[in-house]
Amino acid sequence: MQNWDDLRLFLAVAREQSLSGAGKVLRLDPATLGRRMARLEKAMQVALFVKSPQGYSLTLAGAQLLERAGAVEQAMRGAAIGDAAQSETLSGQIRLGAPDGCANFLLPQVCEAIGRDNPALDIQIVALPRVFNLTRREADMAIGVSAPTAGRLVVRQVTEYRLHLAASQEYLALHGPVDDPAELKQHRMVGYIPDMIFDRELDYLADLGAGRVAMASNSVSVQLNMLRQGAGVGVVHDFSLPFAAGVQRILTTQISLTRAFYLIRHVDDARNLRLARFANLMAAGLRAEVARLEAMTEACKTIDSGTLSARP
């Protein structure tokens, strides 16, 4: 087995798939990294990368080394943490990947509560509208809107959540109420950019047969702000509505969607007590926060059968 410094550099290049990207992470010159990788390949007498103008992709031997090097990395992390994982509080850094709706409307409250009880813990939330690659260690764990079926992952469903159609009071006052789902084609629709939907579970409007999307974004937070500005009608998370004054649900008895959040971890981390404890705290916090916010939304009056009501 090669020394840890060689493996550390290899992991960065393998995960970033380029010398320049790895150089930024490691704060090393890409040319130096290139020489180190060439030296590593020579020492191992095997090609670890396929080099192209698009970057560095792993060969089969490289993929095998990635698995072994990742295991070494996890073992070293565990040794560095020592007994901290079994103490009353968590410490160190944990990076959590999540879709932006969850990251914007749920995780700030959940992570603040965890951080308040664990003052030595640094929590990083990476909010991106895409699937995270845990093999490349883009995050320590991730929240997804569907359960992955490929890869060496441990997946558990955390909680279901509800979505409904919604619009601003101003939009409905100007364009008239929506009494029937068939009327949706007469209204401007707000939703995802069709070719940027990264998970089939997010293709809400196609399931509703609502027609073209006149105002679109790859971010649900941007979509919600579009609705607040009176851009049209769109699907929103019930848990986001307490943050959107003036936006109310419509057609609640005719159209209601249910989805779920899944907590996803790499199988190599299954025995990491520190990450397991954080995952349990995160799952419990998410369940509680979704229930709290959805209860707030349900307590508000909704627009149904064309009736407008004011938010508290």
* pLDDT tens column, 108-147: 999 999 999 999 999 999 887 555 554 556 778 889 888 8
- The type of residue at 264 is I
Distance from the Cα of residue 222 to its chain's centroid = 16
User: With contact defined as beta carbons under 8 Å apart, do 102 and 143 qualify?
Assistant: yes
pTM of the complete model beyond 0.85: no
Mean pLDDT over 46-65 rounds to: 85
Please report, rounded to a whole number, the percentage of residues in the chain having pLDDT higher than 70.
83
- Asked whether the predicted pLDDT for residue 63 surpasses 60, the reply is yes
DSSP 140: S
Structure confidence by residue, pLDDT tens digits, 234-263: 999 999 999 999 999 999 889 888 889 999
- Asked whether the predicted pLDDT for residue 283 surpasses 80, the reply is yes
- More reliable by pLDDT, 102 or 147: 102
pLDDT at 263: 92
* Nearest residue to 132 (alpha-carbon basis) of 98, 163, 107, 164: 98
Distance, in Å, from the CA atom of 123 to the CA atom of 7, rounded to the nearest integer, reads 26
Structural domains present in the chain? 4-82 (1.10.10.10), 90-159+260-294 (3.40.190.10), 161-258 (3.40.190.10)
The pLDDT confidence band at residue 231, using thresholds 50, 70 and 90, is very high
Q: What are phi and psi of 12, to 5 degrees?
A: -65, -45
209: left (phi over 0), alpha (psi -120 to 50) or beta: left
DSSP letters, 23-59, are HHHHT--HHHHHHHHHHHHHHHTS--EEEETTEEEE-
Distance from the Cα of residue 93 to its chain's centroid = 18
Helix axes 19-26, 30-44, angle to 10 degrees: 110
Mean pLDDT of the chain: 82
- Asked whether the predicted pLDDT for residue 311 surpasses 70, the reply is no
Lowest mean pLDDT among 91-105, 130-144, 209-223: 130-144
Lowest mean pLDDT among 68-72, 97-101, 298-302: 298-302
